[in-house]
Structures are given as C-alpha cells and as structure tokens.
Amino acid sequence: MERGLVETAVNGGLVLREYKEGIRFGTDALLLAYFAKDRLGSGACADFGTGSGVLPLLLAASGCKCSFTGVEYQEKYAALAKENVLQNGFEEKIRILEGDLRSHRTLFPAGSFTAVVSNPPYLPAGSGKQNLAMEKRIAWHDDTLPPAALAEAAAWALPSGGRFFCVYLPSRMAGLIEALGRNRLEPKRLRLVVPAHGEAPSLLLLEARKDGAEGLEILPEMPLYTDKSRTEESEELKAVKAFYQLFT
C-alpha cells in the first residue's frame, strides 16, 4: 500500500483507503448513511463533500438502488475517492466529480439528482485552531461550504420533491434550517444524537424536502453510549455497526 494510507474493512468486503494523517471517516458518516439509506429511492443521489468516498461506498454496498455522484473540492481526496470506487468494484454505480459547490451551476444541470446527502464542514470559518493543515481546515471549517452555499447547491441539484440529508452540529442548527428554508428545502425529519441519555446533543441528523409542506417530525434522541462513562456502546449504535459490519 502507498505510504501514508490506511485501510478500514467495512460491510463484509468493502475496503476504504484513507490518508493516515488526513481526514478519516467516523461515526457521523456511519449514522448519516444509516439515517438516509431507506429513503433514497432508485434515482440519482449526490454526496456533497465526499472526501474519500465513504458515504457513496457505504450506501452502495448496503444495497441502495440509486446511482451516486460524489462531489469533492480537494483534488487529493477526489483522486483517492476515485481509487476507492475502482478498488471496490463500484465504478458502474459511483462516479466522483472534483469541483467547488459554490459554482454548482457549472458542475451539473438543475434537478440532476433525486436525493443529496452531505457530511459538510461543521465549524464556522475562522473559528478554532488556525494552524491546521489546509486539507483539514477545508474539511472542518466552512470557508468553502457555509450553510448558505450548501443549501443553494442542494436546491439547484434537486427537483421539486427531492430529498436532502445531512449530519451537522446542533449548535448551528438555526443557521442551517434558515438557509434551507430560503432555498425551498423544508425540514421534515430531525434526530438528535447524544453521547448518553441526559447529555446535550452532539450531532443532528436532518432530512429536508424541496417544496415540501410544513411539518417536522422530531424522532427520539439516539444515545451512542449507555452511560456518561462512555465505555459501553448503546444497542442502537451496535445495530448500526452490525448492519455495516464495521471493523477497525
């Protein structure tokens, strides 16, 4: 294997190659894939900010009937995603597109996808540590993909009735929902993820529909661990990992 790469075996044979010191997929991607998998339909699905291609690979390997286009801003990761697709034999079902979603009108025609999934940058531009490597700063801070740009790109990509799924920080939920609303993306399902019952949410999972009617279903919170010591995974997290046969 190329120096600096590591492999993670997922889903009984799927192998994901990632940069050891770079951006690695985690529980958030796994939870988003599980949240969206049964609602993607059989059309075309885009993954905005695909990184190493983990979401399309997880979803395709789990039996989703749609085709996938992973869009990635960073050339290095777009190339790695293409390698992962090829190495796992999904070149007929997944394509990787390098591009800047702020210029979405030049990347694909309006209404190209029936669904969009995204694990976007969580942190506001200029926040936190500023001495991160550029590739991590781009992945974690929303300089290149703030909520407004994400919502605009999703609205352009989807026809009326199309679905948008994302994982995000609860502390930034108001800005995300406001941006979605300005782009005719109506929130329809929300689930908060907590480290353990009684603790503040650490993630949110959201589904929106373009031109959807008002009405938000708030699902029961999902704990990741059985108690605040975080030593025992919850039954729900075990079920998600069991579905994807995740090995580390």
| Domains of the chain, each with CATH number or no CATH | 26-236 (3.40.50.150)
pLDDT above 50 for 248: no
Decide: 193 and 201 in contact? Cβ < 8 Å.
Answer: yes
Q: Helix or strand or coil: residue 71?
A: strand
Average pLDDT over residues 78-99: 96
pTM of the complete model: 0.91
* Residue 66 CB neighbour total at 10 angstroms: 18
Decide: 142 and 123 in contact? Cβ < 8 Å.
Answer: yes
Phi, psi of 140 (to 5 degrees): -100, -30
For 85, 91, 136, 217, the CA distances from 146, given in Å and listed in that order, are 27, 30, 15, 25
Average pLDDT over residues 175-188: 97
Give pLDDT, residue 143: 62
Task: For 1-19, write each residue's pLDDT tens digit.
Answer: 455 788 877 766 788 898 8
- For the four alpha carbons of 236, 222, 40 and 142, in that order, the dihedral sign comes to negative
Confidence of residue 142 (pLDDT cuts 50, 70, 90): low
